Amino acid sequence: MSERSESAPEISRAGFVAIVGRPNVGKSTLLNRLVGQKISIVSSKAQTTRHRVTGIVAAHGAQFVFVDTPGFQTRHRNALNRAMNRAVANALAGVDLVFFVVEAGRFGDEDRAALAVIPPDARVALVINKVDLLADKRRLLPFIDQLRAERDFAEIVPLSAERGHNCDELLEAAAPLLPEGAPMFGEDEITDRSERFLAAEFLREKLFRLLGDELPYGLAVEIEKFDTEGELRRIHAAVIVDKPAHKAMVIGKGGEKLKRVASEARVEMERLFGGKVFLETWVKVKSGWADDERALKSLGYE
């Protein structure tokens, strides 16, 4: 084979694609799958993603700049929930394409509310995720028909983000929907978020995964120090909890829980950053932070 035919095809299209849907449908799993690296955190709990996370992919002659968003919320419990919905609306402004993600066989009021946030003039591709969970594949066609009645979709692609089934087909179908133009980011860039942001997110993911059901929603992570010395990153992170009683739950017996959380987060940071990480963590109580606009701003919420 000649060198020319082995090289990547020229990029002639580029655009922003927002990934939108109700909580827990697999938006972040899809972003990670498309980028080929874990940059957006994932858990089985709803409301895992709280911030806009950008992932950059070149495929089928196009540069996709994906924007993962928090699951759109229909219940506004506090200022944090409002900030998360704001992040969804901001991500939708001026994008070239929207991936609206649903779970195969499930379309309810929460999905309908998320769909309604997408501006009427936006181009939308419907992504039907988790098809691996559909025991009876014959249910897919009637489900697609049901969704067609909800909106005019430019493309409809059933896939499994977790297994990687049909994900490249989604990129192939979406590439022609992006505007013609030169790439907006360099070839080796995968996200516009900083290592500092990603470090906080990875730690929050491990907390979400290793703690009980109620705790995650009162948790946040603040990076207090992030120093790079050659290949080594020294990171000091504070885990913010809402109530004094939660502090002990995060730390665990003999500090065991926090140690495990930090060690799992460190492994993922080292994988993504490509160097050693020295991670120090402690827990800080900030009562009512999730309903305090000023506290939210200082924690990097929109």
What residues line the site for ligand GTP (CB under 6 A)? Answer: 21, 23-29, 42-44, 46-49, 70-71, 129-130, 132-133, 160-162
With CB under 5 to 8 Å by kind, the binding choice for 160 among ligand GTP, Mg ion, none is ligand GTP
Indicate the residue among 29 and 54 with the shorter CB distance to ligand GTP: 29
Characterize the bridge pairing of strands 53-59 and 62-68: antiparallel
Task: Spell out the residues 6+ positions from residue 52 whose beta carbon is closer than 8 angstroms to its own.
Answer: 67, 68, 69, 87, 90, 91, 302
What is the arrangement of strands in the sheet containing 220-229, beginning at the earlier edge strand? 220-229, 232-241, 277-285
Nearer to Mg ion, 31 or 262 (CB): 31
Which is closer to ligand GTP, CB of 37 or CB of 47? 47
Residues 6+ positions from 267 with CB-CB distance below 8 Å: none
- Spatial contact of 171 and 64, defined as CB atoms under 8 Å apart: yes
Q: β-pairing, 220-229 with 232-241?
A: antiparallel
Nearest CB to Mg ion, comparing residues 164 and 176: 164
Q: Which does 46 bind (CB under 5 to 8 A by kind): Mg ion, ligand GTP, none?
A: ligand GTP
Q: How far is the CB of 23 from ligand GTP (least distance, A)?
A: 4
Among positions 6-45, residues that touch Mg ion (CB under 5 A) are 27-28
Which token pair is 94? Answer: 């001026």
From the CB of 99, what's the least distance to ligand GTP, in Å? 11
CA terminus-to-terminus distance, the chain: 50
* Residue 129 beta carbon to ligand GTP: minimum distance, rounded to whole angstroms: 5
Specify the residue, 26 or 218, whose C-beta has the smaller distance to ligand GTP.
26
Q: Which of 17, 33, 35, 49 is in the footprint of Mg ion by CB under 5 A?
A: 49
